[in-house]
């Protein structure tokens, strides 16, 4: 029989993403709604080891739904990867009377939660927070929609310069192992080519595509590249290769970097965070553990944490076809 949940701890771990604060707010207020106490754990698992806790009530999360980043901060914890570190964390949770954890983060954070549960039978629920959208079991992770809008806005501005100077711009976006941002933002911003880790376009095809663009009368071009794309060692080497083989192009590189992870979350991310926070707490109350709450066909659904970690988030093949047609 599952134990009664009286106090829930909430933490954010790994990379920050817009929508994390909205999720914290949702967890805290859902706890209050069900007359459960809530504790904020600062700096992720490291804060759990150091006992960096703060009681949180409905008023302590006022005016954060619109803020990017995370008020609970985030930190990588090498110590939590050791049995000794996890033992300290467990002792601190027991001392504070915490019965269950809501972990907002990515697959690394979920892996930590899964190991912690296996060692101490401690109830854990995960909320996916990463702009890369690379977690299995949800169509959208927190921050992904906001990042897409940020990238499209940046590319729109870059296109103004590209058009004015007849230039080719390589725009590198985040996505170490997944091309979701590059593919969707590339289509949304009208990019001529999109390079993603899942599809090896090849240097020859890229050159061929750029030559066709030039021949068809395009005076400027935008190529969106996911940072994990395998064509070149990096975007600057790719620039050098294209300039060496297509000297008629004046090539520029823009690396968007961490601006994609910041900013006020979109309405979609705020609503998603609110839905996932409610489901996470209510699932713990129902005695569930070791699940991630996510979005499947616009319904909030549970996926076992192990599947969320090990499963692969697939790229939308139809979008690849749309991208090819749009670059004509």
Give the closest residue to 187 by CA, choosing from 89, 310, 61, 320.
320
The two tokens of residue 217 are 């009368």
CATH of 7-143+265-310 given 3.90.1260.10, 3.40.50.2000, 3.40.50.450, 1.10.287.130: 3.40.50.450
Domain boundaries, the chain: 7-143+265-310, 145-261
275 marked among binding-site residues? no
User: Measuring CA to CA, which residue among 173, 129, 143, 141 is closest to residue 14?
Assistant: 129
Q: 252: closest CA among 222, 229, 286?
A: 222
Question: What percent of the chain clears pLDDT 70, i.e. is strictly above it?
Answer: 96
Angle CA 206–209–211, to nearest 5:
110
- Residue 74 marked ligand-binding: no
Model pLDDT for residues 23-45, shown as the tens digit of each residue: 999 999 999 999 999 999 999 99
Confidence of residue 232 (pLDDT cuts 50, 70, 90): low
On whether 261 is known to bind a ligand per the annotation, the reply is yes
Residue 15: pLDDT band with limits 50, 70, 90: confident
Q: Give 145-261's CATH code, choosing from 3.40.50.300, 3.40.50.460, 3.90.1150.10, 3.30.70.1230.
A: 3.40.50.460
What are the DSSP calls for 24-68, one per residue? Answer: HHHHHHHHHHTT-EEEEETTHHHHHHHT-EEE--GGGGTT-TT--
Cα torsion angle, 320, 177, 137, 264, sign:
negative
Q: Which H or E element spans position 226?
A: strand 221-226
* pLDDT value of residue 190: 92
Check whether 77 is labelled as a binding-site residue: yes
Question: What pLDDT does residue 104 have?
Answer: 98
* 219 annotated as ligand-binding: yes
> Hey, do 7-143+265-310 and 145-261 end up sharing a CATH topology, with the first three levels equal?
yes
Measured between alpha carbons, how far is 280 from 282 in angstroms, rounded to an integer? 6
Identify whether 132 is a catalytic site residue: yes
Residues 180-205, mean pLDDT to the nearest whole number? 87
**Of these residues, 132, 145, 229, 269, which one is catalytic?**
132
């Amino acid at each position: 029989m599952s134990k009664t949940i009286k106090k829930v701890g909430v933490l954010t771990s790994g990379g920050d993403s817009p929508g994390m604060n909205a999720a914290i707010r949702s967890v805290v207020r859902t706890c209050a709604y069900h007359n459960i106490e809530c504790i904020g754990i600062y700096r992720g698992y490291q804060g759990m080891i150091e006992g960096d806790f703060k009681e949180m009530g409905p008023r302590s999360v006022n005016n954060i739904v619109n803020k990017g980043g995370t008020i609970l901060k985030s930190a990588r914890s090498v110590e939590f990867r050791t049995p000794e570190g996890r033992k300290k964390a467990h002792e601190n949770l027991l001392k504070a009377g915490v019965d269950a954890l809501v972990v907002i983060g990515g697959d690394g954070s979920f892996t930590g939660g899964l190991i912690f549960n296996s060692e101490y039978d401690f109830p854990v629920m995960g909320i996916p927070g990463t702009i890369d959208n690379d977690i299995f079991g949800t169509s959208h992770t927190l921050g992904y929609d906001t990042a897409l809008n940020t990238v499209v806005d940046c590319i729109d501005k870059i296109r103004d310069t590209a058009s004015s100077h007849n230039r080719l711009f390589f725009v590198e976006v985040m996505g170490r192992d997944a091309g979701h941002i590059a593919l969707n933002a590339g289509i949304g911003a009208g990019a001529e080519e999109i390079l993603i880790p899942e599809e090896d376009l090849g240097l020859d095809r890229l050159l061929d595509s750029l030559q066709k663009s030039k021949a068809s009368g395009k005076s400027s071009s935008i190529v969106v590249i996911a940072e994990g794309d395998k064509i070149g060692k990096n975007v600057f080497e790719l620039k050098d290769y294209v300039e060496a083989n297509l000297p008629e192009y004046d090539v520029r590189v823009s690396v968007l970097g961490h601006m994609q992870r910041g900013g006020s979350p979109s309405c979609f991310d705020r609503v998603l965070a609110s839905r996932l926070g409610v489901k996470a707490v209510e699932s713990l109350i129902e005695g569930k553990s070791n699940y991630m709450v996510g979005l499947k066909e616009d319904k909030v659904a549970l996926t076992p944490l192990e599947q969320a970690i090990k499963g692969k988030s697939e790229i939308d093949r139809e979008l690849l076809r749309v991208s090819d047609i749009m670059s004509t």
